[in-house]
Structure 1
Amino acid sequence: MSEKKSGIKKYAEDIEKSINSLKKIGYIPSDKFNQETPFRYPVAKMPKGEFIKLPRKGNINKKSYTENFFFKYLTNHFAKDFTVLNDSIVPPKTGMAYEPDFVLYDGNKGNTIFLNIEIDEPYEGFSRTSTHEINSNDLRDLFFQNRGWIVIRFAEIQIHQEPKECCLFIADVIKELKPDYIIPIELKTLTHPSIVEQWNKLKSNNWAKKKYRENYLGIKSFSFRGQKKIPQNVEQTDADIKLESLISEKIPQSHFAEIKKTVLGIKNSNRDRDQRISFDAKEHRYFIDGNPDTISVSELIGKFFQEFDEPYWSKIKAAQRGISPETLRKEWTEKAIDSSNKGTYLHEQIENFYQEKSYDSSLKEFCHFLSFKKKYPTLKPYLSEWRIFDEDLLIGGTVDMLYEKDDGSLIIFDWKRSLKVVDINGTIINSDYNYGLGKLNHIADNSYNKYCLQLNLYRHIIETKYNKKISSMNLLILHPDYESYFVVKVPKMQSEVDYIIETSLDWR
């Protein structure tokens, strides 16, 4: 019997024996490997909880380029003392399960240790979207840490160029926690892998342009890995339920704004689903079933476009104005905050209007909204500020307004207090200095196109997850610099939505 088969058999036996009992970590966590953000690979994060959430056998995702390669090294160097797996999932309280790249564990009583080992690529090869940038994995890692796991992360280039050195790092982490562990003799003469600085999205985008991954992997290009199969929710065991009750995680309560005039049947139809999504307004983060890996629709769309190179452009624009780049960047930040606050205030006035509360009628952009309502008095409100989500894609968003037609279909409206969508005459501003990534390379990088993609993803979510037909999508431009409102009809972009979905399923 091969080591891998025996490991799987042992894994099944361990889970069967432990399925309804809690396991505790069998060591004292060490602060030797602590780092501050941004990290320097390799990274080792210690558990924060003493009880371990056990994995299940199962495989959700397609394997990354180096995973099968490194699995052989892990098996060769650790299978004698540990069960080594590359086909495990760990379920959260509800929703989609996590899939560690690799699991190493020793489940012997009083000696229990579970390691989640991850390989971080700077960008996805086919779509060219950034991955594993600074802070992007923090909440995911915390999920494992709170449930008794050690999380170890390597940069892909380390795995590819120094696999044995990466194994030594793992061995040293284990040795620090379990002094009686004997490091394999073939690793003792090595050193840890060369340090790799954690990247941000801008660096990831630049690396993708230069084919950084392709160059160090020695390949010409990446092919599409095929659609990832969507996992089913994993049933919680008695031990899981007990463990989750012991974990205190800050997940905001669900929020659901509704219109008083909405009929009772409609309000009740989505109630159970609406309770599954929560929103942290301060951090602008969504949580589906408490899952910290949830991202917003706008964040997902942003992954398919290059990051704005603020250091580069601030130097150029500052020189043109005769000011310092630092002064200009401060101006940009203050302007962005001011625009965001004013946009939020406008949204609040419109929501107050529909909730029959007092509103600021002196606000010019809100008066534009009242003019819009006066021109279209027959629009029947369905829901406003509706939090929606797709649990398979792990994305969430908020639809500003839905109106209902006589046939039951819905009209989407999104309020935009922006000067970047149309000009003073209402003509669409479709600037084309940059374009999207991957198969979105025909989509110009501008506010209009990103808003169109946003509403098209809202349409997809509502039609597939809420069983409601969307008849049209619209942007309502409301800005005090304009003398009137502008309605911008949003085209259907099905092929682009399909590509975003296929790609995000692959790299999520």
Structure 2
Amino acid sequence: MDLKKLRKAHHPSGKIIYFDESHHVYYAEDNSNEKFISVTTFIGKFFPIFKFDEISFSYAMRSGLDVGKVRQAWIDKREKASELGNRVHEAVRIFLTNEKKSAIILNETEGRYFKQAKKAIKTMYYFGMELECSECILADLNWKIAGTTDLVFRFQNSLHILDWKSSGEIKTENKFQTALSPIEHLDDTNFAKYALQLNFYRFLIESSGYYPWAREIILRIIHLNENRFEFIDIPNMQREIRMMLKHKI
């Protein structure tokens, strides 16, 4: 196992939770064989699978394009976006933790995204918010579910859970497809998935007692592009989280 890719965090119970970045698995120190399901994977079970071959074929036929070229273009676009997000995330983490030895060299586009991320962070500091943790590993030992949120900030007695998003567009409506039961009242959109993700982090924090002093928990996306950043408020969806957990018992 690559120890550089093995991260750990203390759980309120006193146990240590490990996150193996190479294989994207979480586990507790006393049982490395019992893997936790990640928040992202759990949420994905409640949305239709994207039928890549079928949809790309249909698009190519309608557009008079080569199917193979369409599929490769989509793959390249997805991988490029993922690489951009990962590298900007890592640059922000290094910036916040002051790990100068781990500094990475960003290309021109990545640098512009990083500049906007730093502006967002400075804005939060300007309004008196204090950083609790960056890349925070959270877990519920009973449900065996874990995840990593990008930022947790504190302002007086309120806790702010935030995630960076560098996707081109955050869609809030889908007239053609919804999530699966029991949350089929939600549209199948990236906003719905992001909102559930942040609400799940809230659930993990509250169920495990990470910040018992918090009197209020606020969820936000920080949406980045090359020229600006935007804070997007996320609604309380603890009802949906409980429905999903009950459905999977």
TM normalised by structure 1 equals 0.43
For 1:281 and 1:269, the matched residues in 2 are separated by 18
Task: Indicate yes or no: 2:81 matched with 1:339.
Answer: yes
Q: Deviations over 1:283-340 (max 9, x none)?
A: 3222343244422101111101110111210111112333332332222222222111
CA deviation after TM superposition for structure 1 residue 270, in Å: 4.5
Q: Partners of 2:209 and 2:235 in 1: how far apart?
A: 21
Deviations 1:391-443 (A, max 9, x none): 22221110100001222x4210101111131xxxxxx6433321111121110
Please name the residue that 2:130 is paired with.
380
1:478 to 216, 221, 224: 224
The letter of the residue matching 2:8 is F
Q: Does 1:431 find its partner at 2:179?
A: no
Deviations 1:25-71 (A, max 9, x none): xxxxxxxxxxxxxxxxxxxxxxxxxxxxxxxxxxxxxxxxxxxxxxx
Q: Is 1:280 the counterpart of 2:20 in the alignment? A: yes
Q: 1:310 aligned to 29, 52, 59, which one?
A: 52
When the two chains are superposed, the root-mean-square deviation of aligned CA atoms in Å is 2.5
SS in 2 for 1:308: coil
**Percent of counterpart pairs with the same letter?**
26
Residue by residue, what CA displacement relative to the aligned partner does 1:455-491 show, whole Å, maximum 9, x if unpaired? 10110000111342352000001122xx210110010
Between the aligned partners of 2:84 and 2:210, the Cα distance in structure 1 is: 34
Q: Cα offset for 1:502?
A: 0.8
The answer to whether the 8 A contact 2:7-2:20 is kept is no
Return the letter of the residue paired with 2:21.
Answer: A
Shift of 1:366: 1.1
Tell me the distance in 2 between the aligned counterparts of 1:329 and 1:471.
41
Aligned residue runs from structure 1 range 335-484, under 5 A: 335-358=77-100, 363-376=111-124, 377=126, 378-407=128-157, 409-421=158-170, 429-468=172-211, 469=214, 471-480=217-226, 483-484=227-228
Q: For residue 58 of structure 2, what is the amino acid of its counterpart? A: I
Alignment of 1:128-277 (within 5 A): 255-256=7-8, 270=12, 272-273=14-15, 275=16, 277=17
8 Å Cα contact 2:178-2:184 kept in structure 1:
yes
Code of the aligned partner of 1:278: Y
Larger RCO, structure (CA 8 Å, separation 6 or more): 2
Distance in 2 (CA, whole Å) between partners of 1:380 and 1:420 is 29
Distance 1:333 1:484 in 2: 26
Which residue does 1:502 correspond to in 2? 246
In 1, Cα distance between equivalents of 2:87 and 2:2? 25
1-structure distance, mates of 2:76, 2:229: 26
Letter paired with 1:499: M
Question: Could you tell me how far 1:372 is from its partner in structure 2?
Answer: 1.6
Change (3 A) 1:282 1:467: closer
The structure that has the greater radius of gyration is: 1
Q: Contact 1:251–1:287 (CA<8 Å) still a contact in 2? A: no
Distance change in 2, residues 1:401/1:271 (3 Å): farther
Q: What amino acid does structure 2 have at the position aligned with 1:443?
A: L
Q: Say if 1:251 and 1:290, in contact at 8 Å, map to a contact too.
A: no
| 1:400 alignment partner AA | D
Structure-2 separation of matches of 1:342 and 1:271: 36
Give distance in 2, aligned partners of 1:371 and 1:251: 33
Contact 2:11 2:210 in 1 (8 A): no
Distance across 1 between alignment mates of 2:155 and 2:90: 25
What letter corresponds to residue 392 of structure 1 in structure 2? N
Looking at structure 1, the residues matched to 13 and 228 of structure 2 have their Cα atoms a distance apart, in angstroms, of 37
SS in 2 for 1:439: coil
**1:420–1:429: 8 Å Cα contact kept in structure 2?**
no
Give the residue type in structure 2 aligned to 1:347.
H
Q: Higher strand share goes to which structure?
A: 2
Q: For the structure 1 residues 269 and 281, does the alpha-carbon distance in structure 2 shift closer, same or farther, using more than 3 Å as the test?
A: closer
- Number of residue equivalences: 235
Calculate the TM-score normalised by the size of structure 2.
0.85
Structure 1: how far apart are the matches of 2:19 and 2:175?
33
Aligned counterparts of 1:279 and 1:321: Cα–Cα separation in 2: 43
Deviations 1:255-279 (A, max 9, x none): 137xxxxxxxxxx784933x2x222
Query: Shift of residue 373 of structure 1?
Result: 2.6
Q: Which amino acid aligns with 1:406?
A: Q
1:319 alignment partner AA: M
Deviations 1:191-220 (A, max 9, x none): xxxxxxxxxxxxxxxxxxxxxxxxxxxxxx
For 2:33 and 2:177, the matched residues in 1 are separated by 33
Deviation by residue 1:338-389 (Cα, 9 ceiling, x = unmatched):
1111111001111111112456686111111122233332220001111111
Letter in 1 for 2:242: D
